[in-house]
Amino acid sequence: MNALSCVADAPMNQNALLVAFASMDGDMVDQHFGSAQAFYLYEVTADSAELIASQRFAQEKMDGNEDKLKPKLAWLVGADVVYCGSIGGSATRQLIALGVNPIKVSGGPDVEELIEELQAQLNGTPEFWLAKILKSKKADTSDSRFDAMDDEGWDG
């Protein structure tokens, strides 16, 4: 497992989702976004899931102090989805502005179960929010393909 300065430093697999989970131990989603002590990052495809990184943060109070969000937001740049036990409106808006889709789950669901639910959608009909992420990832790859052709001096 690699130490990443941010999620965007992870090796790119255009067919995979980069999914972070706010979790104390990596087994269940049991952390509020703003006071999360750790995030576990998985690369998830329709038929595989691999833990590729984790990041620990100092213990924080749930006091509305926006500064504690900055290191978490900075680390999550490049993630597609982040699951957390709860999240405030400001953090939600900031994540969405970074292109990260926050998902609030309650009852401390198992990371493994959430991954299985994602994989079931990837193998079937994804919900709207997931379909939107997949569509934007495909658009990114087609744009970069044309950029690569341009860089090579390709002139159809």
Burial class (CB in 10 A: 0-12, 13-18, 19+), 98: middle
Residue with tokens 């213990």: 59
- Position 116 scores a pLDDT of 97
pLDDT beyond 90 at 139: no
Each residue's pLDDT tens digit, 54-109: 999 987 665 556 577 899 999 999 999 999 999 999 999 999 999 999 999 998 89
Q: What is the dihedral of CA 73, 77, 6, 78, to 10 degrees?
A: 150
d(CA 19, CA 51) in angstroms, rounded, equals 9
What would the pLDDT profile of 20-49 be if each residue is shown by its tens digit?
999 999 999 999 999 899 999 999 999 999
pTM of the model: 0.85
Flag the least confident range among 108-117, 128-137, 147-156.
147-156
Q: What is the signed CA dihedral for 40, 64, 98, 84, rounded to 10 degrees?
A: 30
Q: Is 150 exposed, middle or buried (0-12, 13-18, 19+ CB in 10 A)?
A: exposed
SS (H, E, C) the chain: CECCCCHHHCCCCCCCEEEEEECCCCCECCCECCCCCEEEEEEECCCCEEEEEEEECCCCCCCCCHHHHHHHHHHHCCCCEEEECECCHHHHHHHHHCCCEEEECCCCCEHHHHHHHHHHHHHCCCCHHHHHHHHHHHHHHHHHHHHHHHHCCCCC
**For residues 23 and 38, is the Cβ–Cβ distance under 8 A?**
yes
CATH class of 7-151: alpha beta
